[in-house]
Amino acid sequence: MSSDLSPSLISRWFNTPLWKRILFALVLGVIVGVIWGEGAQSIRWIGDLFIRAIQMVVVPLVFITIVAGVVSMGDPKRLGSLGIKTLALYMVTTLIAITIGLTLAALIQPGLGVDLSAAVPGTLQEPVSFRDQLMRIVPTNPIAALASGDFLAIIFFAILFGAGIISVGESGKPMADLMDSGAAIMLKLTGWVMEVAPFGVFALIAWVSGTQGVAALMDVIPLAGTATLAFALHFFLVYGGMMKFMLHLSPYKFFRNVKNAVLVAFSTSSSSATLPVTISVAEKNLGIRPVIASTVLPLGATINMDGSAIYVGVVSVFAAQAFGVDLTLVDYFIMAGATTLVSIGTAAVPGASVFLMAGVMATIGLSPVQIALVVGFVLPFDRPLDMMRTCLNVTGDLACATAVAKWENELDETTFNSANEMMDVKTGAGQ
């Protein structure tokens, strides 16, 4: 009987949709972390190993899938049309996110009466100028860009490489076939890596809840509450409204279909680490064809940071209120513009936006010492908020990709509307 039990449990585990396994691991990780406390630090390596496995596939996946996607368009003119639509949509959703964050922070006033004198000043990262951001797009060495994981440079070179394959015609077909096969292989590897996601998620969440504690946010409840409310409003009203009124698709089905990516984003706090899962979810659950998923989503993971935009805006207003700086309407407009640039330049890795707030807060007259105090105040409590804003970033990428796919007639609505649990990202011998 015992010999039959183990295969039965293993079979049941792999037949359970991935999102349910990840959610179970997430809840269990919180419980274990709270009980175990600091001891949960000892299993963090399992989560780090999972993130390294995802990082192992993300760079080749981004390069190969973008090249394959560009080649599949067939017409370079279509690439320009697609790029304009994608960039415009990302910028509009980011602007809406900033507006929501600044408005709620102005109304709720989370910084009033907050004493930052006890905060340990944080280390500040110099803001990247707009000129430097533009220069980074064109790599001096594409191989070095691939090795260092410089996604803006990788995306730019991949688009040019794909356009070059199209332009040479028939002689480029062997390379086009190679990239197409490579994209299929990388997605298969992603599926294999995702099978260990529940274990990685368990370790990461146990570490966070054990070392920082769920009650850690008590010290920053007004700030955390304002940011969380802004995240929720943007998540349901903007993305849900986009599905319902702009695309005439079911918001419920969209949120149901993206849950795998959202759960992984929550546990990793990294848009780039989640990218392989995001692409799989887009193609298998939402019905977005590879020509769109492979071009729109890597760009979104690099420049579409709605969650970061909300957070940077809320924290900047919080800081102004804490230090008694009176903000005018012009100040809010300046912060909105600065936050747009900062959010685009935010690295898609955990905690990056905390160190990029200096540029925004400097626009409203805060001194370097005051900015360092604000960073020092929010940094110890940033991880749970980082998890939430990464969920928003990834959901925004998928929402915009769905919109572009719909406009380009590259959305399989039968797949999008399917309630079949097998559409969840899974792997197996028969797949």
Q: What is the pLDDT of residues 354-371, one digit of tens each?
A: 656 766 787 777 877 787
Evaluate whether residue 429 is within a structural domain.
no
What six digits make up the tokens of 381? 């409590």
Evaluate whether residue 430 is within a structural domain.
no
pLDDT in the model for residue 422: 40
pLDDT in the model for residue 74: 67
Task: Please give the Cα distance from 24 to 103 (Å, whole number).
Answer: 36
Cβ contacts of residue 401 below 8 Å, gap of 6+? 282, 286, 288, 292, 293, 296, 297, 300
Evaluate whether residue 52 is within a structural domain.
yes
Task: Please give the Cα distance from 123 to 358 (Å, whole number).
Answer: 10
Number of neighbours of residue 118 by Cβ within 10 angstroms: 8
- Give residue 163's domain range: 2-423
Task: Please give the Cα distance from 33 to 28 (Å, whole number).
Answer: 8
Task: Please give the Cα distance from 159 to 76 (Å, whole number).
Answer: 10
Task: Please give the Cα distance from 130 to 116 (Å, whole number).
Answer: 31
pLDDT in the model for residue 230: 95
Let me know: does 279 contact 54? Beta carbons within 8 Å: no
Tens of pLDDT along the chain (431 residues) come to: 444 545 677 777 777 877 778 888 888 888 888 888 888 888 888 888 887 887 788 788 878 877 887 787 766 666 777 778 888 898 899 889 999 999 999 999 888 877 666 555 555 555 555 576 667 778 889 999 888 877 778 878 888 898 888 888 888 889 988 988 988 888 788 778 878 888 888 888 888 777 765 554 455 678 889 999 999 999 999 999 999 999 999 999 999 999 989 988 888 787 877 888 899 899 999 999 988 888 888 888 877 889 888 988 898 898 888 888 888 888 888 888 777 766 665 555 455 566 567 667 877 778 777 877 787 777 667 777 888 888 999 999 999 999 999 998 999 999 999 855 444 444 443 33
Q: Which residue blocks in 323-381 are alpha helix, DSSP H?
A: 329-345, 358-362, 368-378
Q: For helices 151-167 and 130-137, give the axis angle rounded to 10 degrees.
A: 40
Phi and psi dihedrals of 288, rounded to 5? -80, 125
Task: Please give the Cα distance from 276 to 45 (Å, whole number).
Answer: 21
Evaluate whether residue 431 is within a structural domain.
no
CA dihedral 264, 268, 269, 273 (to 10 degrees): -90
What six digits make up the tokens of 267? 């546990």
Classify residue 149 by its DSSP letter: T
pLDDT in the model for residue 255: 95
Supply the pTM of this predicted model. 0.74
Phi and psi dihedrals of 196, rounded to 5? -95, 5
Evaluate whether residue 169 is within a structural domain.
yes
Evaluate whether residue 428 is within a structural domain.
no
pLDDT in the model for residue 120: 53
> Which CATH number fits the domain that encloses residue 162?
1.10.3860.10
In angstroms, the Cα distances linking 308 to 333, 347, 394 are 17, 10, 11
pLDDT in the model for residue 231: 94
The domain tally of the chain equals: 1
Q: What is the DSSP string of 85-144?
A: HHHHHHHHHHHHHHHHHHHHHHHH-TTTT---TTSPPPPPPPPPPHHHHHHHHS-S-HHH
